[in-house]
Chains A and B, each alone.
Chain A
Amino acid sequence: METPENDPKINRRKFIANGARASVLIGIGGLAALVAKKTIAGQTVWQLDPAKCIQCGRCATNCVLTPSAVKCVHVYAMCGYCDLCGGYFKPETKTLTTGAENQLCPTNAIKRKFVEDPFFEYTIDEPLCIGCGKCVKGCGAFGNGSLQLQIRHNICVRCNQCSIARSCPADAFSRVPANQPYLLKESGQEENNNKK
């Protein structure tokens, strides 16, 4: 079908097409190079900063997972092993027993174990924990703040945009490097003692 005088036209078209292709390629490459300056080889994961957290309870409801990937984590090193634990007991509780009427945790996820007089150990049963932060609030208000909310990375599905982060009123969520995925605050016991 092709006549010889059509040839230059086709060649020109080919040339233009190649040029366009090359410029698109350069465009993509340029864009990649532009952002590549601020890249890291590793991954980032979401984590919340307990120092900013106000325990509003949205971690329990706004995660894409049910129950939430945010759990209460117990930093034993900070714990005072109190008998009257603000994280375990409802306020105004008078009889310090493990009865349901005394427990702050709505799902019975904190286990209280006698260690020695007058100390008790508190352990979080994570599968039961829904991340509501009630105990965290209690511990922060009356105790040492050893109960803290954290995203558990064995559960978290690593959404590109964490759906709790965008509803967190305290702006406590941020992307952190995956090799240091936890932001537990461990107010150094020793340092404090030194000061005294």
Chain B
Amino acid sequence: MKKNAVLLILILVLTIQLLNVYGVQRFPKPEFESGYVQPDTLQPDTRAELLAIMDIVVLTVALAVISWLVLKKRSRIGVFCTSVLSLVYFGFYREGCVCSIGAIQNITLAMFDENYVIPLTVIAFFVIPLIFTLFFGRTFCAGVCPFGAIQDLVSYKPQKLGTRLNAVLGLIPYLYLGLSILYAATGTDFIICRYDPFVGIFRFDASFGMFLFAGILLVSGIFIARPYCRFLCPYGVLLNFISRFSWRHMTITPAACIKCRLCEDSCPYDAIDMPVPGKNPEDRAITLRKLILICLLVPFFVLLGGYSTSRLHETLAGVNGKVHLAKSLLEPTTNNGQPETFEITAFKSSGKPVSQVFSEASAVIRQFYIGSWILGCFIGLVFGIILARQLIIAYQADYTPNKGTCFSCMRCVDYCPVTPEEVKS
């Protein structure tokens, strides 16, 4: 009994001390005589949980519908209408967050940060489109992703970019993916969200820079079809990879290709593989030699990439808040005369020891060192694989969509004179 009382007092004392850490009660609460009733502090609720479930349902239904439209109905108009609806729902109604592209970072953070708990919706947004892609190709890009939809809407006079530009710009998404994973894994920033061009439009509100980026992408999108999807989108890298294994992929023609060449220029994304002429043993020998050479060079690419990126690790880590703070504490004399930065003020009021900041920052820099090696190796590997792929000969007779880069937008299908009816007959 006595023991309990002591314990109770101890707890009471502790709680009082704990509460005292917060706000300073300089003035006692008044005792009102006029019968004044203190109003409650309003705390408006956040969006209902149920709506998050609805997002997943809408996503799944939209993916199912569009896959059906692509593979069974083969309808360009249907795809277009679905994409407009998705744009309205995921874009303008849901205001672009959370999206599958950004979810990459949440997944990464969840793997590396023990304290981060990831909502189920985010996992769903990341995984469901991947699974659909594995079965039906990139139907997600065709008409569910609001980013793709808005760019598809504005592409008015798409031009062919030419093989060089395509090859070079097509490398950017790999870099972007690698960097965004590096920054998410170190808990530094979500750069995909930071440089997200279209959320500003969906919300009718954004910083000037965001609007500028969106404007540039949309205006260039009139002449270059889907610039974000093709030359930036990091989720596209994953979809591209997975779609190559897709179980059923959209075809240009419902039956046998008659090689009328009508569709040859129809794809604004340069995603149609032309027929490759028959085997030529001489070519084969030469390319085989080159292929072996490149395969031998891949480890060199990997090491070169890893080395040169690892040299950059301090520059890359400079963005990290902890590193930034430590840097400004380490070199304090530079801002002579100017008032101290908010970061330093906040640090001072936090009562954290300086050594902790330094050791945390150097831990982050170590993470970046390892991370940038991995990133560099990854980029080197990507270069090696892309080079090697250019040498692999896939002989084919027909015009087929490239399973990796095709967005299943169904433009080419409209040009194909072969009709399903003919198949039946």
Chain A contacts to B: CB under 8 angstroms = 17, 20-21, 24-25, 28, 31-32, 34-36, 38-45, 51-52, 54, 56, 58, 64-66, 73-82, 115-116, 119, 121, 123, 140, 142-146, 152-154, 156-161, 163, 166, 169-171, 175, 178-179, 181-182, 184-189, 191-195
Contact = CB atoms under 8 A, between A and B. Distances in A.
A188 B19 contact: yes
Contacts of B122: 160
Contacts of B29: 77-81, 189
B121 A43 contact: yes
B316 to A, nearest CB: 16
Contacts of B203: 64-65, 157
B188 to A, nearest CB: 9
Nearest to B345: A54
A85 B281 CA distance: 90
Given A39-B118, A39-B120, A171-B321, A78 B23 contact: yes
Interface residues of B, number: 78
Given A51-B21, A78-B25, A191 B15 contact: yes
B28 A80 contact: yes
Given A28-B127, A32-B127, A35-B110, A192 B134 contact: no
Contacts of A175: 116-117
A170 B346 contact: yes
B40 interface: yes
B27 to A, nearest CB: 3
A15 B207 CA distance: 52
21 contacts: A39-B118, A40-B119, A43-B46, A45-B46, A51-B21, A54-B349, A58-B342, A64-B207, A64-B210, A73-B41, A76-B39, A78-B25, A81-B29, A143-B27, A157-B97, A160-B102, A163-B194, A169-B342, A178-B46, A178-B47, A181-B46
B95 interface: yes
B47 A158 contact: yes
Contacts of A142: 26
> When A and B form their complex, which 3 residue pairs have the shortest distance between CB atoms, in order from nearest?
A80-B27, A161-B190, A145-B23
Contacts of A54: 342, 345-346, 349
Given A160-B98, A189-B28, 8 more contacts: A65-B203, A75-B41, A80-B26, A154-B44, A163-B207, A166-B194, A175-B117, A192-B25
A115 to B, nearest CB: 5
B206 A143 contact: no
Interface string B178-191: 00000000000110
B189 A161 contact: yes
Contact of B20 (A81, A121, A178, A187): A187
A28 B130 contact: yes
B364 to A, nearest CB: 14
A64 B123 contact: no
Given A178-B49, A191-B16, A144 B23 contact: yes
Nearest to A29: B127
Given A17-B245, A39-B120, A64 B21 contact: no
Contacts of B19: 187-188, 191-192
Interface string B188-210: 01100110000110010111001
B354 interface: no
A152 B43 CA distance: 8
Nearest to B135: A21
Contacts of B206: 64
B231 to A, nearest CB: 22
A38 B23 contact: no
Nearest to A56: B342
A57 to B, nearest CB: 8
A77 B24 contact: no
Interface in B148-190: 189-190
A160 B190 contact: yes
Contacts of B20: 187, 192, 195
Contacts of B189: 161, 166
Contacts of B33: 116
Contacts of A194: 16
B119 A42 contact: yes
Contacts of A20: 245
A18 B208 CA distance: 48
Contacts of B240: none
Interface string B1-38: 00000000000000110011111111111101110101
